[in-house]
Amino acid sequence: MSTFKRIILEMGTGNDLYGEDYTKAAKRAVQDAIHHSSLTLFKSLEIDPSVMQIELNIAAQEPDKVDLEEVAKELPYGQVYPKAVHGGLNIHDEVTNRTSVIVNAGIIVRLPM
């Protein structure tokens, strides 16, 4: 019987400079995280990528404004378990009265081993 072991941690940052769209910023953070790596281990070890368990952690100043279902679609394989927590950063511009939204993503991947 195999147990799932944590084998990958990727981190990314995304933003929405003008629309205050937390979901858009979160999707960009996920894309940033997954584009930092090329995971050849799946082919090399003949592992089906659909067996991955993916813990998707999103940090935003207003986590309730993140559509986690939409953000999870950015991950092409595996069983995704998303959650949003308080974090990230908002930067307000008094001149334009706009707030730039910055969101962080932490992606933990587990495989049966």
The domain limits of the chain are: 4-35+45-112
Q: What is the pLDDT of residues 13-60, one digit of tens each?
A: 999 999 999 999 999 999 999 997 777 778 888 888 889 999 999 999
Query: Is the distance from CB of 58 to CB of 86 less than 8 angstroms?
Result: no
Q: Assess whether pLDDT exceeds 60 at residue 4.
A: yes
Burial of 90 from C-beta contacts in 10 A (0-12 / 13-18 / 19+) = middle
Query: Is the distance from CB of 11 to CB of 109 less than 8 angstroms?
Result: no
pLDDT at 113: 82
Look up the pTM and report it.
0.92
Distances (CA, A) of 105 to 61, 72, 96, 111: 13, 11, 28, 20
**58 beta partners:** 84, 105
CA distance 28 to 57: 13
**4-35+45-112 classified as CATH 3.30.1330.20:** yes
